[in-house]
Chains A and B, each alone.
Chain A
Amino acid sequence: EAQVTQNPRYLITVTGKKLTVTCSQNMNHEYMSWYRQDPGLGLRQIYYSMNVEVTDKGDVPEGYKVSRKEKRNFPLILESPSPNQTSLYFCASSFGGWGNGYTFGSGTRLTVV
């Protein structure tokens, strides 16, 4: 089944403890992206990647890092999480041009205390 898989689905952590949220897609998509979704603010793009070793900042990149060493994987790294990074995170991928339709993962609900 074609899908984007995120792990974990739920995560509670403490301020300052480094964490990684994994994202993997099995559709051979070039384009991958991370979003956070907050009430009243909608979906905001954190980082995106046009292909392997090509990443760029989205609208809210502060406090996050990404890497794209393989086409299928696009992990999101929080080096020193803070409470304002408590949010619902989505990974998405698309084929070809970035304007094409996304396939989203099921989300990761992160709470930083």
Chain B
Amino acid sequence: TQLLEQSPQFLSIQEGENLTVYCNSSSVFSSLQWYRQEPGEGPVLLVTVVTGGEVKKLKRLTFQFGDARKDSSLHITAAQPGDTGLYLCRGSTLGRLYFGRGTQLTVWP
């Protein structure tokens, strides 16, 4: 059983489109992070959210932590080919760390 479910598993879009990916759980998390992983490299931390309802922006990326701290979303505006990668969420709860399996995003020129 996966504690953090990410959806969709795969997403393929054209440059300029908007998209949202999700990270959901039935558990409450004390903090949640988003990472992006490019082929052949390790994941790179994008953001950490800790407060229910929190919204953080990183250029064209908007991250939201659910009010109940059980879910999170990542919205990308006007996607670019450079956004291509595996997006992973990671949550901390009950003294453990959990990764979702990721959303593989491909942005075509």
A pairs with B: yes
- Collect the chain B residues with CB atoms within 8 Å of residue A105's CB: 42
Segment 31-54 of B: residues with Cβ below 8 Å from A: 31, 33, 35, 40-45, 48
Assess the B45–A101 pair: CB atoms within 8 A: yes
Q: Which residues of B contact A (CB under 8 A)?
A: 2, 30-31, 33, 35, 40-45, 48, 88, 90, 92, 97, 99-102
| Residue in chain A with minimal CB distance to B6 | A42
Q: Which residues of A contact B (CB under 8 A)?
A: 4, 35, 40-43, 45, 90, 92, 98-107
CB A42 to nearest CB in B, in angstroms, measures 4
6 A-B pairs closest in CB distance: A104-B42, A99-B92, A42-B101, A101-B45, A43-B99, A104-B43
- Collect the chain A residues with CB atoms within 8 Å of residue B92's CB: 98-99
- Collect the chain A residues with CB atoms within 8 Å of residue B41's CB: 106-107
Query: Can you list 5 A-B pairs with a CB-CB distance of less than 8 A?
Result: A35-B99, A41-B101, A101-B45, A102-B45, A104-B43
Assess the B43–A102 pair: CB atoms within 8 A: yes
- Collect the chain A residues with CB atoms within 8 Å of residue B101's CB: 40-42
- Collect the chain A residues with CB atoms within 8 Å of residue B97's CB: 45, 98-99
- Collect the chain A residues with CB atoms within 8 Å of residue B33's CB: 101-102
Most buried by A among B31, B43, B90: B43
- Collect the chain B residues with CB atoms within 8 Å of residue A92's CB: 42
Specify which of A42, A90, A98 is in contact with B42 (CB 8 Å cutoff). A90
Assess the B42–A99 pair: CB atoms within 8 A: no
CB B94 to nearest CB in A, in angstroms, measures 11
CB A59 to nearest CB in B, in angstroms, measures 9
CB B40 to nearest CB in A, in angstroms, measures 7
